[in-house]
Amino acid sequence: MRVADTYFSLGLEFDNGHRLPEDSRLIESEPLLFSSFYNLPCAGMSLAELNGIAAHFPLIVNLYPKSFLLLSLALEESVSRLFTELLSLVQAQEGLAVPNLTPAVCRKHLPFFVEKSLRETNISSWAHVLDIVNYENLFLDVARPLIGRSPATADLCRLHEQLPLRHESTVATNFEWNIADIISDLKNGIYQENYEKEASIIVAFQKEGGIELTEINEFGCDLLQLSNGSMAFEEIVGILHKKYGQDMDSKDFQTECATALAQLIELGTIVSRPEFGIKADMLL
């Protein structure tokens, strides 16, 4: 951050932090030609605040662009001002001498900052902004490095292939609003203050070097969560039947579960294909 009459921003300093007198005379003799050498004060913010924005705001642009845009619209406040408030909150809660922002720190503090900002403003609209924060959190949660599963002993029965197992990066999140519709509106430049509540579930997972998201129903979400590599397909069907299949014949319900499992396998959220307990033709 440039606080002295240096030659360049974050650049060279001479003569105890100032320019050489002869250089200053040259710059002042042709102010239009050497205008880039002037430290012009900003009426809106201090140098420290401007430096904080320059150093850390790209993180928000990359990780939380939708959340910050909607919060700015909801509070009718500039994005830069909201960001400096976030930096101050993080600095205070983390006990930092100077502001510092990382993806993990954003993940930790931004949901509280958004909720606090909306609550203190006492506005009745824009309640879906918190869901957008959770939606953008999904990308951070799923993007974490994967930890390869290495069995402690030889798996002679190949149980990891026989038991349904979801992809280790898979994260399912419940939303109060139809998040897919809201994201579609944002992509088309539509910024609504209110939406009808419509619960939805989004599943995110790593696939082919990127992150894929898809909407899933409650039944599919429960099937996905139960596919943790510790239960056979029949056990999973039995658990799901108590909740979803009481009015169905057990064989018909098993077929429904097989079809759903096949869809999850094709999608990539289930990484092991059961070799028993489910007929091959039921997965086609």
Q: Which amino acid, one-letter code, is at 120?
A: E
Least Cα distance to 113 among 124, 101, 97 occurs for 101
Domain with 224, as residue range(s), is 159-283
Counting the structural domains of the chain, the total is 3
State the average pLDDT over residues 236-251: 92
Q: What angle is formed at CA 74 by the lines to CA 68 and CA 80, rounded to 5 degrees?
A: 45
Tally of CA atoms within 13 A in the half-sphere of 98 that contains its CB: 8
At residue 197, the pLDDT reads 94
Tens of pLDDT, residues 177-211? 999 999 999 999 999 999 999 999 999 999 888 89
- Say yes or no: 10 and 99 in one domain: no
Domain-located, residue 222: yes
Tens of pLDDT, residues 64-106? 999 999 999 999 999 999 999 999 999 999 999 888 899 999 9
- Say yes or no: 111 and 198 in one domain: no
- Say yes or no: 65 and 179 in one domain: no
Token pair belonging to 8: 């360049």
Domain-located, residue 273: yes
- Say yes or no: 166 and 274 in one domain: yes
Percent of the chain with pLDDT over 70: 80
- Say yes or no: 173 and 100 in one domain: no
- Say yes or no: 14 and 50 in one domain: no
Domain-located, residue 138: no
Domain-located, residue 151: no
Question: How many angstroms separate the CA atoms of 136 and 133, rounded?
Answer: 5
Domain-located, residue 165: yes
Tens of pLDDT, residues 11-65? 455 666 677 778 778 878 887 887 766 666 677 778 788 888 889 999 999 999 9
- Say yes or no: 91 and 187 in one domain: no
Q: Which of 110-124, 139-153, 225-239 has the lowest mean pLDDT?
A: 139-153
- As a whole number, the mean pLDDT across the chain is 83
* Pairwise pLDDT comparison (175 vs 1), residue with the higher score: 175
Domain-located, residue 133: no
- Say yes or no: 18 and 52 in one domain: no
